[in-house]
Amino acid sequence: MNKTFSFDKDLNINRLGYGAMQLPGKGVWGPSSDPDNAVKVITTAIDNGVNFIDTADAYGPFYSNLYVKEALKQRQDANVMVATKVGNTRQGPDLWTPVGTPAYLRQQVELNMMTLGLDHIDLLQLHRVDPNYTLEEQVGELAKMQQEGKIKHIGLSQVSVDEIKAAEKIAPIVSVQNRYNLIDRTDEDVLDYAEANHLAFIPWFPLATGELAQGKELQDIAAKYDAQPAQIALAWLLKRSDVILPIPGTSSTDHVVQNIKAQNIELSQADFDILDKLGK
């Protein structure tokens, strides 16, 4: 199992990263109840080897970006790749509406750079495809900003294989961020396509272990490795494919360290196969 993934000759990251979605307030809305802790969670992740952080303008909105910005300021010597997303608007807690107006996408890329304190975005992903605009309009605008040097790489989120193929005719696509975890394999075909074409597959909601937490199989395997069920779920993802980059999110410094330790768990093929059968 490879523990790293290369986007290009300059961007080689540890596969297990950190997702900042849980840092803002309830419903991913407003500030954290403890902003200092939010920053500390990120710096703790960096101090424990994480060099890939996923965020989005819609998280807060922007509060997660501001926490990432402060953490990067405190860890200026760390070589961290930041991925962010544009194309989802917020109307309140737990409310999300895709907007793919080219001018809006351009504005949000600029605001991401501002709130993250970066002069370019290493990986900019289209958060959702807006059916009211063509892919050419949405990905095409990101491609223009790539040519301007404001975006290094372009990715997509929650898309089908056909949408990836269509986007690849407009601009080079390096990543896809779809929902995928130990028990939800709905997008297995997207993962297979990513694997075949060396696209980073960044599963969101990677720790959907709730309904399995009391399951005998997962509990038995976790006990066998002296690990927590969540760690086993992450270890399974890491073994499933070398293009999978899990980005478990948490607002706890203890949990972030626990999640990172999952990359040291080498599941046997027999245990992997048992877990594999739990999916649907």
Q: Is 59 a catalytic residue?
A: yes
Q: Where are the alpha helices (DSSP H) in 32-125?
A: 35-47, 63-74, 102-116
Report which of 23, 22, 18, 71 is spatially closest to residue 49, judged by C-alpha positions.
18
Q: Cα torsion at 126, 128, 129, 131 (round to 10°)?
A: -150
SS3 readout for 206-258:
CCCCHHHCCCHHHHHHHHHCCCCHHHHHHHHHHHHCCCECCCCCCCCHHHHHH
CB-based contact 181:162 (threshold 8 Å): no
Other beta carbons within 10 angstroms of residue 103's beta carbon come to: 8
Q: Give the integer Cα–Cα distance in Å for 117 and 8.
A: 22
Q: Give the integer Cα–Cα distance in Å for 19 and 153.
A: 18
Q: Give the integer Cα–Cα distance in Å for 169 and 155.
A: 13
DSSP sequence for 144-168: HHHHTTSEEEEEEES--HHHHHHHH
Q: Give the integer Cα–Cα distance in Å for 35 and 266.
A: 35
Check 18, 59, 63, 133 and give the catalytic one: 59
Widest distance between CA atoms in the chain: 53
Which residues are the active-site residues? 59
